[in-house]
Amino acid sequence: MDGSAKPRVVSPAPKKVVRPTREKAMEAVKTLLAWAGDDPAREGLIDTPRRVADAFEEWYGGYGKDPVEELSRTFEDIEGYDDIVMLKNIDVESHCEHHMAPFIGSAYVAYMPTKRVVGISKIARVVEIYARRLQTQETMTAQIADAINNALKPAGVAVLVDAEHQCMSTRGVRHHDVTTITTQFTGLFKSDLNLQNRFMKLAGYG
Protein backbone atom coordinates (compact mmCIF):
# COMPACT_ATOMS: atom_id res chain seq x y z
CA MET A 1 0.00 0.00 0.00
CA ASP A 2 1.58 3.33 -1.02
CA GLY A 3 0.98 6.60 0.73
CA SER A 4 -1.89 7.53 -1.59
CA ALA A 5 -3.69 4.20 -1.36
CA LYS A 6 -7.01 4.07 0.38
CA PRO A 7 -6.62 2.40 3.79
CA ARG A 8 -8.64 -0.65 4.59
CA VAL A 9 -11.63 -0.12 6.85
CA VAL A 10 -11.12 -1.63 10.29
CA SER A 11 -14.09 -2.44 12.47
CA PRO A 12 -13.48 -1.42 16.10
CA ALA A 13 -14.74 -4.79 17.29
CA PRO A 14 -16.18 -8.01 15.87
CA LYS A 15 -19.91 -8.24 15.22
CA LYS A 16 -21.78 -7.95 18.48
CA VAL A 17 -23.22 -11.16 19.85
CA VAL A 18 -25.74 -11.84 22.58
CA ARG A 19 -23.61 -12.71 25.58
CA PRO A 20 -24.92 -15.45 27.89
CA THR A 21 -25.20 -14.68 31.58
CA ARG A 22 -22.25 -15.28 33.88
CA GLU A 23 -24.22 -18.11 35.48
CA LYS A 24 -24.58 -19.88 32.11
CA ALA A 25 -20.86 -19.47 31.49
CA MET A 26 -20.09 -21.06 34.84
CA GLU A 27 -22.45 -23.94 34.07
CA ALA A 28 -20.59 -24.47 30.80
CA VAL A 29 -17.32 -24.76 32.72
CA LYS A 30 -18.88 -27.39 34.96
CA THR A 31 -19.94 -29.32 31.87
CA LEU A 32 -16.40 -29.24 30.49
CA LEU A 33 -14.96 -30.38 33.81
CA ALA A 34 -17.30 -33.34 33.83
CA TRP A 35 -16.56 -34.07 30.16
CA ALA A 36 -12.84 -34.11 31.00
CA GLY A 37 -13.57 -36.86 33.50
CA ASP A 38 -13.55 -35.05 36.82
CA ASP A 39 -16.18 -34.21 39.42
CA PRO A 40 -17.14 -30.50 39.35
CA ALA A 41 -18.50 -30.86 42.89
CA ARG A 42 -15.26 -31.99 44.52
CA GLU A 43 -13.58 -29.53 46.85
CA GLY A 44 -10.74 -28.52 44.55
CA LEU A 45 -13.07 -27.71 41.67
CA ILE A 46 -16.02 -26.08 43.42
CA ASP A 47 -14.74 -22.55 42.77
CA THR A 48 -13.20 -23.34 39.38
CA PRO A 49 -16.19 -22.14 37.29
CA ARG A 50 -16.08 -18.75 39.04
CA ARG A 51 -12.32 -18.49 38.58
CA VAL A 52 -12.56 -19.42 34.90
CA ALA A 53 -15.26 -16.79 34.35
CA ASP A 54 -13.04 -14.20 36.03
CA ALA A 55 -10.09 -15.26 33.87
CA PHE A 56 -12.16 -15.07 30.68
CA GLU A 57 -13.21 -11.52 31.52
CA GLU A 58 -9.53 -10.59 31.74
CA TRP A 59 -8.20 -12.67 28.84
CA TYR A 60 -10.91 -11.52 26.43
CA GLY A 61 -11.40 -7.98 27.70
CA GLY A 62 -10.46 -6.61 24.28
CA TYR A 63 -13.99 -7.18 22.99
CA GLY A 64 -15.20 -4.33 25.14
CA LYS A 65 -12.48 -1.89 24.05
CA ASP A 66 -12.19 0.28 20.95
CA PRO A 67 -8.66 0.67 19.52
CA VAL A 68 -9.79 3.61 17.39
CA GLU A 69 -10.75 5.49 20.54
CA GLU A 70 -7.33 4.80 22.05
CA LEU A 71 -5.72 6.47 19.03
CA SER A 72 -8.13 9.41 18.85
CA ARG A 73 -6.07 11.85 20.94
CA THR A 74 -3.15 12.92 18.77
CA PHE A 75 -0.56 15.68 18.84
CA GLU A 76 0.18 17.77 15.77
CA ASP A 77 3.11 19.78 17.14
CA ILE A 78 5.91 17.43 16.11
CA GLU A 79 8.38 20.24 15.15
CA GLY A 80 9.39 18.73 11.85
CA TYR A 81 10.09 15.20 13.13
CA ASP A 82 9.88 12.86 10.15
CA ASP A 83 11.60 9.64 11.17
CA ILE A 84 10.54 6.31 12.65
CA VAL A 85 8.57 6.14 15.88
CA MET A 86 8.98 2.60 17.17
CA LEU A 87 8.01 0.53 20.20
CA LYS A 88 9.91 -2.70 20.82
CA ASN A 89 9.16 -5.75 22.93
CA ILE A 90 5.47 -5.06 23.60
CA ASP A 91 4.13 -8.05 25.54
CA VAL A 92 1.64 -10.16 23.61
CA GLU A 93 -0.58 -12.55 25.55
CA SER A 94 -3.38 -13.85 23.37
CA HIS A 95 -5.42 -16.98 22.58
CA CYS A 96 -5.83 -18.60 19.17
CA GLU A 97 -9.35 -18.99 17.85
CA HIS A 98 -8.81 -22.61 16.84
CA HIS A 99 -8.03 -24.20 20.22
CA MET A 100 -8.38 -21.26 22.65
CA ALA A 101 -4.80 -22.05 23.63
CA PRO A 102 -2.43 -19.21 24.59
CA PHE A 103 0.17 -17.75 22.29
CA ILE A 104 2.70 -15.56 24.01
CA GLY A 105 5.43 -13.35 22.62
CA SER A 106 6.34 -9.81 21.64
CA ALA A 107 5.23 -7.15 19.18
CA TYR A 108 7.31 -4.50 17.45
CA VAL A 109 5.38 -1.54 16.05
CA ALA A 110 6.62 1.47 14.09
CA TYR A 111 5.13 4.28 12.05
CA MET A 112 6.40 7.24 10.06
CA PRO A 113 4.43 10.30 11.22
CA THR A 114 3.26 12.94 8.80
CA LYS A 115 1.37 15.64 10.68
CA ARG A 116 0.55 13.98 13.98
CA VAL A 117 1.74 11.51 16.57
CA VAL A 118 0.06 9.65 19.42
CA GLY A 119 1.19 8.93 22.96
CA ILE A 120 3.45 5.87 22.90
CA SER A 121 1.40 4.08 25.56
CA LYS A 122 -1.57 4.18 23.17
CA ILE A 123 0.29 2.03 20.65
CA ALA A 124 0.94 -0.59 23.31
CA ARG A 125 -2.70 -0.36 24.33
CA VAL A 126 -3.85 -1.09 20.77
CA VAL A 127 -1.71 -4.23 20.74
CA GLU A 128 -3.22 -5.28 24.07
CA ILE A 129 -6.80 -4.72 22.88
CA TYR A 130 -6.41 -6.92 19.82
CA ALA A 131 -4.44 -9.52 21.77
CA ARG A 132 -7.31 -9.89 24.22
CA ARG A 133 -9.59 -11.36 21.59
CA LEU A 134 -9.78 -14.70 19.85
CA GLN A 135 -8.09 -14.60 16.45
CA THR A 136 -5.08 -15.81 14.51
CA GLN A 137 -1.69 -14.15 14.87
CA GLU A 138 -1.87 -13.15 11.21
CA THR A 139 -5.19 -11.38 11.72
CA MET A 140 -4.00 -9.63 14.87
CA THR A 141 -0.87 -8.35 13.11
CA ALA A 142 -2.93 -6.89 10.26
CA GLN A 143 -5.48 -5.36 12.64
CA ILE A 144 -2.79 -3.52 14.60
CA ALA A 145 -1.28 -2.08 11.43
CA ASP A 146 -4.64 -1.08 9.97
CA ALA A 147 -5.82 0.61 13.16
CA ILE A 148 -2.69 2.79 13.33
CA ASN A 149 -2.76 3.46 9.59
CA ASN A 150 -6.40 4.57 9.62
CA ALA A 151 -6.19 6.65 12.80
CA LEU A 152 -2.90 8.51 12.27
CA LYS A 153 -2.65 8.58 8.45
CA PRO A 154 1.13 8.13 8.66
CA ALA A 155 3.52 7.70 5.75
CA GLY A 156 3.78 4.03 6.70
CA VAL A 157 3.29 1.43 9.41
CA ALA A 158 5.31 -1.67 10.28
CA VAL A 159 4.26 -4.43 12.66
CA LEU A 160 6.10 -7.61 13.62
CA VAL A 161 4.77 -10.20 16.07
CA ASP A 162 6.89 -13.11 17.32
CA ALA A 163 5.03 -15.62 19.50
CA GLU A 164 5.04 -19.21 20.71
CA HIS A 165 1.75 -21.05 20.29
CA GLN A 166 0.85 -23.52 23.02
CA CYS A 167 -1.57 -25.30 20.70
CA MET A 168 1.63 -26.49 19.02
CA SER A 169 3.94 -26.84 22.04
CA THR A 170 1.56 -28.59 24.48
CA ARG A 171 -0.51 -30.70 22.07
CA GLY A 172 -0.36 -32.08 18.54
CA VAL A 173 3.24 -32.10 17.30
CA ARG A 174 4.49 -30.86 20.70
CA HIS A 175 7.41 -28.83 19.39
CA HIS A 176 8.76 -26.50 22.06
CA ASP A 177 10.68 -23.27 21.48
CA VAL A 178 9.22 -22.85 17.99
CA THR A 179 7.92 -19.35 17.39
CA THR A 180 5.78 -17.86 14.65
CA ILE A 181 6.74 -14.52 13.08
CA THR A 182 4.18 -12.41 11.24
CA THR A 183 4.68 -8.99 9.65
CA GLN A 184 2.52 -6.31 8.10
CA PHE A 185 3.82 -3.26 6.22
CA THR A 186 1.95 -0.29 4.76
CA GLY A 187 3.01 2.85 2.92
CA LEU A 188 6.75 3.56 2.89
CA PHE A 189 7.52 0.47 4.94
CA LYS A 190 6.02 -1.58 2.11
CA SER A 191 7.45 0.33 -0.87
CA ASP A 192 10.89 1.23 0.52
CA LEU A 193 12.89 -1.94 1.16
CA ASN A 194 15.70 0.01 2.83
CA LEU A 195 13.24 1.41 5.37
CA GLN A 196 11.69 -2.01 5.84
CA ASN A 197 15.12 -3.53 6.44
CA ARG A 198 15.92 -0.76 8.89
CA PHE A 199 12.80 -1.62 10.87
CA MET A 200 13.73 -5.29 10.88
CA LYS A 201 17.23 -4.49 12.15
CA LEU A 202 15.89 -2.21 14.88
CA ALA A 203 13.57 -5.03 15.92
CA GLY A 204 16.54 -7.38 16.06
CA TYR A 205 15.57 -9.48 13.05
CA GLY A 206 17.84 -7.96 10.44
Nearest to 69 by CA among 132, 149, 12: 12
> Are 90 and 112 part of one and the same domain?
yes
Alpha helices in the chain (DSSP H): 22-36, 48-59, 67-70, 120-131, 137-152, 166-169, 188-191, 193-203
Whether residues 99 and 193 fall in one domain: yes
Residues 40 and 129 in one domain: no
Pairing of strands 85-96, 134-135: parallel
The tens-digit pLDDT sequence of the chain (206 residues) is 444 445 454 445 556 788 899 999 999 999 999 999 999 999 999 999 999 999 999 999 999 999 999 999 988 877 778 899 999 999 999 999 999 999 999 999 999 999 889 999 999 999 999 999 999 999 999 999 999 999 999 999 999 999 999 888 787 777 888 999 999 999 999 999 999 999 999 999 97
Asked, for residue 114, whether it belongs to a domain, the answer is yes
Q: Give the chain's end-to-end CA distance (angstroms, integer).
A: 22
pLDDT in tens, 87-142: 999 999 999 999 999 999 999 999 999 988 999 999 999 999 999 999 999 999 99
What's the structural domain count of the chain?
2
Provide the annotated active-site residues. Answer: 96-99, 137, 165, 167
Same domain as 40, residue 82:
no
Quick one: pLDDT at residue 13? 52
Query: Would 14 be classed as within a structural domain?
Result: no
Q: Is residue 2 part of a domain?
A: no
Specify the pTM.
Answer: 0.87
Within a domain: 120: yes
Q: Closest Cα to residue 206, out of 158, 174, 141, 149? A: 158
**Do 147 and 166 share a structural domain?**
yes
In a domain, 42, yes or no: yes
Is residue 17 one of the residues assigned to a domain?
no
Residue 3 forms part of a structural domain: no
Query: Residue 106: inside a domain, yes or no?
Result: yes
**Whether residue 115 sits in one domain with residue 54:** no
CATH number assigned to the domain comprising residue 194: 3.30.1130.10
Are residues 173 and 87 part of one domain?
Answer: yes
Q: Residue 182: which domain range?
A: 67-203
Q: For residue 44, give the amino acid letter.
A: G
The SS3 assignment for 29 reads helix
